[in-house]
Amino acid sequence: MVIVDEASQCDMKSLPVLFRAKKVLVVGDPEQISPVSVGIDRSKVFELIRQFLSDISNADTTFLIDNSLYDISKTIPRMGRILLTEHFRCVPPIIEFNNYLCPSYAGKLEPLRQPNPQERLDPSINNIFMENGFKDNSDVNKPEAEALVEMLIKCCKDEQYSRGGKNNRKRTMGVISLLGEKQAKYISELIAQRIDETEREERRIICGDAYAFQGDERDVMFLSLVVATNEQYRALTIDSDRQRFNVATSRARDQVFLFHSVRLNDIKNPECVRYKLLSWYMNPPLAEIEAGMEILKQKAESPFEIDVGERIINRGYRVIPQFRPLPNDYNYRIDLVIQGENNRVAVECDGDRSHGIERWEYDQRREAQLRRAGWKFWRINGSAFYRNKEKALESLWQFLEEEGVKPLIYKKTTENSSKTSEKNSKIPKDNQNNRDSHYNNESVVTQKNDKVLSENTDKVSPVTLQENLFNITEPQPVPNNWEIWFEISHWGKETGHIESSERAFAYQIGKKLKHSYEIYPNQKSKMEKLWKIAIKKGFKPK
């Protein structure tokens, strides 16, 4: 048996080892970076293929120098394939971006790493906008680099980062430039001037591009987007671009900081991976809802499954449609799987159209097999659902509660829980480029043109800042129009004037109002506060 690990990094020169094998196990990831053939004359390669591989079908597209061994192995007929879905490195909020970015994952990754509250770094995802960022002719964005180094130093000095790594050691850190190596080199020089060698060794601090980190990991990662509005840049839409960003954004175990000098509406092209990254990081909960809905519509086999799945997703649960639980049986699929942090439940949507007695018996045998393996099933009938949708799903919410499957997106938070330390809530005073950014329990956001925040960030805690924002002398009636709440969510995403948790809440309320769901008292109170904030920040309903 020959086992090839990280086969997506192996180029064609690794093929001869397979001649030694009676059996071969190839382990790789098509969403990782493939070999790079810089400076090699492709015409010579095609000439060699024509001379020596002319009798092999598709040789001119298979045996290329930039194809990995994993790519080549995919062309072998009748090769058994197994998708490994359990993910152990990143905390769930970080890996969920990759889960939906990459077609090969398609939302199927199951994040299994759940650090205890003492080890958790909140928020896991932080995006920091640089108002004065610009890229010079050397592909270096100095304001981004300097702000990134200030934040890295600040983290090194913080008590929270002095423990919690593997074996409870200091948190390790890394820096990735998302545009070439020159930005990484400049950041590395700044770090060398500011942090002594012993600290750099203990933190395992290195700077590079995505290639430098493939197969590696750190507790905390700092990403620099580099591009800025002062120069044009192309949209990144090809597979290799997605692979680079997939590697870069999946190296952090506990926390990631993204520094960027462009806003979402500066990028224009929604298919660009920069757009997808920034869109997700600005509002992870809302982005996960939208991505989950899109995958559901693509994979569900009936409008009934879509209707049920949408209501489950809107409750904050993560849904995997048309899930194949048996690797060796591609014919059997579960309509919807609700994935919790520690458990999961299978939902079968029994429509009124029959698939025949043989199919029914086959499905029943498979379901019994999975029940013996510990799977829990919940079934819903199409007629009952469309007679009264809310009533039909009441038993599902109770069943999920009993099985310990909690919503992943809308987690209850309070102002008094896990407050960030005063030291961690301040932005370094000597970093004027980043003075508008501040910490809170949910995210790091940029607040522009806000006198309270820009003048007092170094003086008061995030909770006090929120209380100041709620202090509005002339309250206006809270709207019950669902379209207005969708507008608030979209407006907040475009302007950055409200936090990611608030944008997700506005979206949730819009859905509830649209479908006439019950609004609970605590939600009404939160609606009133958010409405006051939005009006004060300049929101005007269309």
pLDDT tens-digit readout, 115-159: 877 788 988 999 999 999 999 999 999 999 999 999 999 999 999
Q: The tokens of 391 are what?
A: 């009533």
Q: Where residue 421 falls among pLDDT bands split at 50, 70, 90? A: very low
Helix axes 500-514, 521-536, angle to 10 degrees: 120
Position 352 scores a pLDDT of 58
Residues 415-442, mean pLDDT to the nearest whole number? 34
- In this structure, what DSSP letter does residue 126 have? E
Report how far residue 294's alpha carbon sits from residue 311's, in angstroms, rounded to the nearest whole number: 14
For residue 30, the surrounding DSSP H or E stretch is none
Residue 261 has pLDDT above 70, yes or no: yes
Length of the chain, in residues: 542
CATH code matching the domain that covers 290-402, chosen among 3.30.1330.20, 2.120.10.30, 3.40.960.10, 3.40.50.2300: 3.40.960.10
* Confidence class for position 356, pLDDT limits 50, 70, 90: low
Average pLDDT over the chain, rounded to an integer: 81
CATH 3.40.960.10 domain range(s) in the chain: 290-402
Tens of pLDDT, residue by residue over 274-302, are 999 998 898 777 777 777 888 888 888 88
pLDDT number for residue 417: 31
Which tops the pLDDT comparison, 256 or 59? 256
Distance, in Å, from the CA atom of 105 to the CA atom of 99, rounded to the nearest integer, reads: 6
Span 313-325, average pLDDT: 87
3-state SS of 209-264? CHHHHCCCCEEEEEEEEEEECCCCCCCCCCHHHHHHHHHHHCCEEEEEEEEEECCH
Q: Which of 198-207, 330-339, 475-484 has the lowest mean pLDDT?
A: 475-484
List of E strands, 271-411 = 318-323, 334-339, 344-350, 377-381
**Cβ neighbours of residue 531 under 8 Å, at least 6 residues apart?**
476, 478, 479, 488
Confidence of residue 329 (pLDDT cuts 50, 70, 90): confident
- Kindly tell me if the per-residue pLDDT of 500 is higher than 80: no
Which pLDDT value is given to residue 37? 63
What is the structure's pLDDT at 156? 95
Average pLDDT over residues 95-106: 89
Q: Which residues pair with 223 in a beta bridge?
A: 176, 258
Stated pTM of the model = 0.62
Say which residue, 262 or 452, is predicted with more confidence.
Answer: 262
Instruction: Tell me the pLDDT band of 236, cut-offs 50, 70 and 90.
Output: very high
Q: Is the pLDDT of residue 472 over 90?
A: no
Place 434 in a pLDDT band, splitting at 50, 70 and 90.
Answer: very low
Q: What is the pLDDT of residue 309?
A: 93
Q: Is a pLDDT exceeding 50 seen at residue 109? A: yes
Rounded to an integer, the average pLDDT of 250-265 is 95
Q: What is the pLDDT of residue 435?
A: 31
Q: CB neighbours (10 Å) of residue 317?
A: 24
* Digit-coded pLDDT (tens) for 4-56: 998 888 887 888 888 899 999 999 998 988 776 656 777 888 888 888 888 88
| CATH code for the part of the protein at 87-282 | 3.40.50.300
Q: Is the pLDDT of residue 452 over 50?
A: no
Q: Is residue 414 predicted with pLDDT exceeding 50?
A: no
Cβ-contact 210, 245 below 8 angstroms: yes
Q: What is the pLDDT of residue 227?
A: 95
